[in-house]
Amino acid sequence: MNRYEGRRVLITGAGSGIGQATVHRVLAEGGLVVAADVSEAGLRATYATAEADGTAGRLTTAVLDISDETEVRTGVAAAVAALGGLDVLVNAAGILRSEHTHKTSLEFFNKVIAVNLTGTFLMIREAIPALLAGDRPAVVNFSSTSASFAHPYMSAYAASKGGIQSMTHALAAEYSKQGLRFAAVAPGSISSDMTSGNGPGLPADADMSLFVKLAPALGEGFASPDTVAGVVAMLGSQDGAFITGTEIRIDGGTHY
């Protein structure tokens, strides 16, 4: 299945987790990809896997901090130049931080918003001109189940993802007549660097009983990033041509 044959795709958060899985899924379907991430080591790992898969010839990597306006402006321009245009933007980059809200500093809160919400906005703003000139263009944003369901100790993260979800609806309406689609995925119960180890960084005294539902209804335990990458690939392809201004929850029924 080569839904991305000749399609030009820019993917952020491409050095790990779902972003990395999406890079490999799009490459496997014939796409031309610029993979961007703040982690140079992560991008090296992404490239190494593509080399092993025989798809590295269609992959370019770029170190990029999406919370930095100057870096985004130059990074998107460079990506568009490398690809010869742009058809799909996937905003997978994000951070997850947790704390008691009454102990949350403004610096902490602003950092989460700057990366997740402002970074997504900056990427979209800079990419829109190229996307409008692209072929069946689409943007796939990353919301989260936390945008609609209670995730204690994650007020900053929930606010950032709720903002992305609302922004996706507004953008879909604004650019609908120009043929540019905007959709979002809302993952939950997915294994990644963000949700394992010190990713969430829950407070040591976190009351886990506040998490009413933690386990997905389907299967056992969290799903792999590939589970989300497949949906992202669909949304950016012609199979998602009639999908815009909405989000798709991918959590195995954790929040049914």
Q: DSSP for 51-85? A: HHHT-GGGEEEEE--TT-HHHHHHHHHHHHHHHTS
And the tokens for 248? Answer: 């798709």
Q: Is the separation of the CB atoms in 245 and 169 below 8 Å?
A: yes
Write the CB contacts of 246 (distance below 8 Å, at least 6 apart in sequence).
Answer: 168, 169, 172, 183, 184
The DSSP output letter for 226 is H
Based on the residue annotation, tell me whether 157 is a catalytic residue of this protein: yes
Of the candidates 47, 157, 175, 256, the residue annotated as catalytic is: 157
C-alpha 122, offset from chain centre: 14
Question: Whose CA is closest to 6, among 244, 243, 177, 238?
Answer: 238
Catalytic residues: 157
